[in-house]
Amino acid sequence: MDLSNTLAIISSAGYASAAQTDVEGTGVDTQGYEGVLFIAKYGTAADDNLIHAETGADNSVDWEDLEGSEVDVGTSKSNEIQWLDINHNVGDRYIRCVAERGTSSTLEFIIALPYGAHDEPVDNDTPGTIVGLLLTSPAEGTK
């Protein structure tokens, strides 16, 4: 099966101008998926930028940190992209990614990719937000 048919593509957080505040991504409903992969990109690398996950039963204000989910920039201190893959078996239905900015950094985005859909194919066309194309064995020629 093609990858785009087995995962959802969700814009969890968009651009955030330079600041030292946390950026909370939207909650992702993981019902019907095996797990979720978050990808966050900072516009400015800094040694105190990190991400972590929070879970909630009803996608409201009762978010709890997910133990062991903190991802820092590592030893190079220059990584601008961080990722976090969480198996759905965490107890709560909703998961979100939080980008913590210790230094005045921009955040370019947080993308959420719930994967292992129980019902395929997944519809990833959200007009005005996400659009794409799946090609199967395309012929060479003009685009």
The helix/strand/coil state of 3 is helix
Within 13 Å of residue 61, how many CA atoms lie on the same side as its CB? 0
Q: Name the pLDDT band for 44 (thresholds 50, 70, 90).
A: confident
Domain assignment present for residue 124? The answer is no
The kind and range of the H/E element at 111 are: strand 105-115
Is the predicted pLDDT of residue 69 greater than 70, yes or no? yes
pLDDT exceeds cutoff 90 at 25: yes
Q: What is the pLDDT of residues 96-121, one digit of tens each?
A: 999 998 788 889 999 999 999 888 88
- Domain presence at residue 123: no
Within a domain: 97: yes
| Region for 137 from its dihedrals, namely left if φ exceeds 0, alpha if ψ lies in -120 to 50, beta otherwise | left
**Is there a domain that residue 84 lies in?**
yes
Amino acid 97: pLDDT: 97
80 found inside a domain: yes
The residue ranking higher by pLDDT, 143 or 17, is 17
50 inside domain: yes
Q: The domain that contains 38 carries what CATH number?
A: 2.60.120.260
Mean pLDDT of the 35-51 span: 90
Helix (H, G, I), strand (E, B) or coil at 64: strand
* Number of domains composing the chain: 1
* pLDDT on residue 99: 95
pLDDT tens profile 72-91: 876 566 668 899 999 877 77
Q: Is residue 86 part of a domain?
A: yes
Which pLDDT band holds residue 45 (cuts at 50, 70, 90)?
A: confident
Inside any domain, residue 134? no
Residues 50-56, mean pLDDT to the nearest whole number: 94
Comparison of pLDDT for 63 and 124, the residue scoring more: 63
Global confidence as pTM: 0.88
Whether 128 has a pLDDT exceeding 90, the answer reads no
Contact 90, 96 (CB under 8 A): no
Task: Supply the range of the domain harboring residue 18.
Answer: 3-115
